[in-house]
Structure 1
């Protein structure tokens, strides 16, 4: 096992509150090898990649390249690109699918609207199996290739039709990591068995809190608070909880938030979440020196009704 994942496991670093932040995802198929910055360092059009990064800046839309599991020879890519556009709001998640010969058409998307939950009739509604997106880009971090690619291959071989390799989900030290859509929950430290459990749960509209890093729709303090409720009170239904996050008033506690978590059945909890530096230092990536990454600790969780 590679260094950054070994250190993270040995230090029992929490998964909760580590999911990438995105209200929406734009996933573009691009075969062949990927560089560390895949949108501009692959067979994808580099100028288009730069344009899309600029167009999505500040909109809540995260862009990644995807490809099917397997060998990825450096040969001329196919012309067609499968594209998924997804929004992850609780109670309002959706996925749209399109097949584009010319991905430059993506420049015409209203990314501010997409980030706010409006797809503008892009493509057609996707209604298949949950999308399983496993981070495998070894040029960013070798853990993702060594641990992610075998997992993606195993899931595809087991018959799950919608398994894709993806360029980046953050949190290399939690590899293998997987994003599931339409709901936007990210999972880490998966095995083939637990990944299949996650996909079965997603298909039935539930969350496996034990391996979950958080829902990308929420800020990281809210991710940690939501998962604390799921773990402590056995809440599994994917859209059962909503959160409202507020910073603690100045002068009280630095780097702290109160989070109100509300269940659709009327129950609610208040969480106090602190941001602290992880100790001791550990590598966030196999390519980086050890640091003290932020962690978000739920220091209290109180039922309010």
Structure 2
């Protein structure tokens, strides 16, 4: 019996998704810019929008973020739950298709300091910095993010204390624990403490595996599913080792070509079928039933 139909105990959307066998490939939200705002106190359910900040400062940051389709995420180090009396950090992370990613960091003590984020969005940023590992642990948004996210944040923080931050809602609550490596723009889901350490260790070594991969944020969902299929078939690869070179659609079918960059010279033709699932309960706090879009790989062949 499915958890949502069992009628006993609390409902956890991540448990229900696992019971249904919800696929995770092709579920990463699109985007290439992240704004991180450290906030050690309690996080409102709606994240940055719910902070008690000066309205004009908040509006300026939002307008600048919307102009570049940036996602604003509250962040904190694992284990810190009280508001900090010292300066906290902010960052602007940018994905670059060439792999030369850019970051800009600053600190804020007053609301007015956050206006620097607007200027940073227009600045080139610094290259050569290590990636940031974000673990969704936003329990006020969805209980699964806390129940599954915080153990992952603890495990990763013990291994990479300078790289790892807990973060607010990143999307896909039912795939908790969710980990985002930015500005690489790679989403992972369905992780626990042990698997998260292995996945991030491989990622930092330039080996992205298909297992647990939700997708690359510079690709659209069917393309994400196609790249995951290539990694599953050909083995782990670096973030820039494959590129989507052709995409066409015929009804519910997508035909996608993925080409390897030197020294990976192979090309793959993938057919992906996109369809909606029957309505079901997808999040812990959302009691209404809704459909999800699945991107199923129908075939893959070498070109």
TM-score interval, smaller chain: 0.7 to 0.9
Which residue of 1 is the match for residue 129 of structure 2? 127
Which residue of 2 is the match for residue 114 of structure 1? none
Summarize the Cα distance change of 1:155–1:110 in structure 2 as closer, same or farther, 3 Å threshold: closer
2:280 to 279, 282, 291: 282
Which residue of 1 is the match for residue 20 of structure 2? 11
Which residue of 2 is the match for residue 84 of structure 1? 91
C-alpha contact (below 8 Å) 1:179/1:187 kept by paired residues: yes
Q: Provide the rounded CA distance (Å) in 2 between the counterparts of 1:12 and 1:143.
A: 17
| Offset at residue 2 of structure 1 (A) | 4.9
C-alpha contact (below 8 Å) 2:99/2:240 kept by paired residues: no
Q: After TM superposition, where is structure 1 displaced by more than 6 Å over at least 4 residues in a row?
A: none
Summarize the Cα distance change of 1:298–1:162 in structure 2 as closer, same or farther, 3 Å threshold: same
Summarize the Cα distance change of 1:158–1:235 in structure 2 as closer, same or farther, 3 Å threshold: closer
Summarize the Cα distance change of 1:159–1:63 in structure 2 as closer, same or farther, 3 Å threshold: closer
C-alpha contact (below 8 Å) 1:82/1:97 kept by paired residues: no
Q: How many residues align?
A: 287
Which residue of 2 is the match for residue 299 of structure 1? 298
Task: Confirm or deny that 1:268 pairs with 2:267.
Answer: yes
Summarize the Cα distance change of 1:79–1:255 in structure 2 as closer, same or farther, 3 Å threshold: farther
| Offset at residue 71 of structure 1 (A) | 3.9
Matches within 5 A, 1:117-196: 120-122=123-125, 124-125=126-127, 127-128=129-130, 130-196=131-197
Which residue of 1 is the match for residue 105 of structure 2? 98
Q: Provide the rounded CA distance (Å) in 1 between the counterparts of 2:298 and 2:137.
A: 34
| Offset at residue 276 of structure 1 (A) | 0.6
Q: Provide the rounded CA distance (Å) in 2 between the counterparts of 1:71 and 1:263.
A: 42
Summarize the Cα distance change of 1:55–1:127 in structure 2 as closer, same or farther, 3 Å threshold: closer
| TM score, norm. by length of structure 1 | 0.86
| Offset at residue 12 of structure 1 (A) | 0.9
Summarize the Cα distance change of 1:153–1:44 in structure 2 as closer, same or farther, 3 Å threshold: farther
| TM score, norm. by length of structure 2 | 0.86
Residue-by-residue CA offset, 1:7-43 (whole Å, 9 max, x unaligned): 1001111110011211222222122111121112125
Q: Provide the rounded CA distance (Å) in 2 between the counterparts of 1:283 and 1:67.
A: 30
Q: CA RMSD in A?
A: 2.2
Q: Provide the rounded CA distance (Å) in 2 between the counterparts of 1:62 and 1:244.
A: 26
Q: Provide the rounded CA distance (Å) in 2 between the counterparts of 1:192 and 1:51.
A: 38
In structure 1, stretches of 5+ residues that fail to align are 112-119
| Offset at residue 237 of structure 1 (A) | 2.3
Q: Provide the rounded CA distance (Å) in 2 between the counterparts of 1:84 and 1:247.
A: 36
C-alpha contact (below 8 Å) 2:245/2:257 kept by paired residues: yes
- SS of the aligned residue for 2:50 comes to coil
Task: Confirm or deny that 1:201 pairs with 2:202.
Answer: yes
Summarize the Cα distance change of 1:255–1:63 in structure 2 as closer, same or farther, 3 Å threshold: farther
C-alpha contact (below 8 Å) 2:91/2:117 kept by paired residues: no
